[in-house]
Structure formats: C-alpha cells, structure tokens
C-alpha cells in the first residue's frame, strides 16, 4: 500500500505545474493575435487576442514605443479579479493588478507593469502562444502564422 501512495500524491501535486508547462494550446477557431499601432503624439500599440470584427477579446497588451513596459488588460471579467497568471513554456508570471468597475461599463482589469525584456515576454514572442489563468479559469491563446508575426512586431515596438 505504501508503494502506490507516493506516486499518486506526487502526480496530484504536479498536475497544475505540468499543465502550465505543457506545449502550445490548439489554435482557437476565429481567434488570433492582432496588433494596432496609434501614431499619435506618443506612439502606442495594442496586441489583442480577438475575433476580428467583434469585441470578443479575452486579453490584450498595451505599451508605448520603446518604453520597455507592457500592461495586460481584460475587459468584462470578474469585478473582484486582483491578478492573473500568464505562461508560455517554460516561463510563467503571476501578475497582480486592479479591476475598475462602474455602472456604465463592464469591469476592466489592468495588470502591473511587465518588463518588455522579461523572460515571459521573450518566451511569448518566441513561442507565439500563452496561457492565461484568471479567476480559476485557464484560456489557451495560440497565434496563427500572422498572429505570431503580430506578437513579434508588438514586442519589437515596445522594446526598441
């Protein structure tokens, strides 16, 4: 009886960690990473995982050109959300943040700053995918070939 107890406990404890280290999630039908650059007074960019032509956008990133600071945002999530976990093998990052909610708009979560040259951002640019865990739910976000190019352009824009 003792011989099966240790492997069983080890697998149960390792399960969540193994899920975070698993390979890329499949490409979700209709979703892809897209970049939008605003050439206003201060050039800024948004990288969004979205269905084109809709407001279906589980996650987006924003930055100013060359600022080396990136912020993650979620619209319409849990009003009590205080942090998310992003992972792109082999890196993972817990991001605290704040959620603002008012009566006229859905809740909006914004993370604290992520360094543009952080190991997670480098892994995300190299892999073309990440997983987000927020409020106990995990969402895989893999880019198509065009989406992977958008990720690389965004990271280059933010870190040049």
Per the confidence metrics, is the pTM higher than 0.85?
Answer: no
Tell me: the pLDDT tens digits for 6-62?
A: 333 333 344 444 444 468 899 988 999 999 999 877 899 999 999 998 888 999 999
**What is the rounded distance in angstroms from the CA atom of residue 133 to the CA atom of residue 7?**
27
Q: What b/e string do you get for 87-105 counting C-beta neighbours within 10 Å, with b at 16 or more? A: bbbebbbebebebeeeeee
**What is the rounded distance in angstroms from the CA atom of residue 148 to the CA atom of residue 67?**
21
Tell me: the pLDDT tens digits for 116-159?
A: 999 999 999 999 999 999 999 999 999 999 999 999 999 999 99
Residue 40 forms beta bridges with which residues? none
**pLDDT in the model for residue 22:** 67
Tell me: the pLDDT tens digits for 87-103?
A: 999 999 999 999 998 88
Structural domains present in the chain: 23-159 (2.60.40)
Would you say residue 4 has pLDDT above 60? no
**pLDDT in the model for residue 18:** 41
């Amino acid at each position: 009886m003792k011989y099966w107890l240790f492997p069983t406990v080890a697998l149960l404890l390792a399960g969540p960690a193994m899920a975070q280290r698993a390979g890329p999630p499949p490409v979700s039908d209709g979703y892809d990473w897209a970049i939008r650059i605003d050439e206003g007074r201060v050039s800024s960019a948004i990288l969004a995982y979205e269905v084109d032509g809709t407001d279906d956008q589980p996650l987006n990133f924003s930055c100013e050109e060359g600022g080396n600071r990136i912020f993650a945002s979620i619209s319409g999530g849990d009003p009590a959300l205080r942090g998310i976990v992003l992972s792109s093998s082999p890196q993972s990052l817990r991001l605290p943040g704040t959620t603002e909610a008012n009566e006229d708009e859905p809740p909006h979560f914004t993370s604290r700053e992520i360094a543009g040259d952080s190991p997670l951002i480098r892994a995300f640019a190299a892999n073309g995918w990440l997983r987000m865990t927020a409020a106990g739910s995990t969402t895989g976000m893999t880019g198509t070939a065009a989406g992977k190019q958008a990720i690389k352009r965004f990271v280059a824009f933010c870190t040049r």
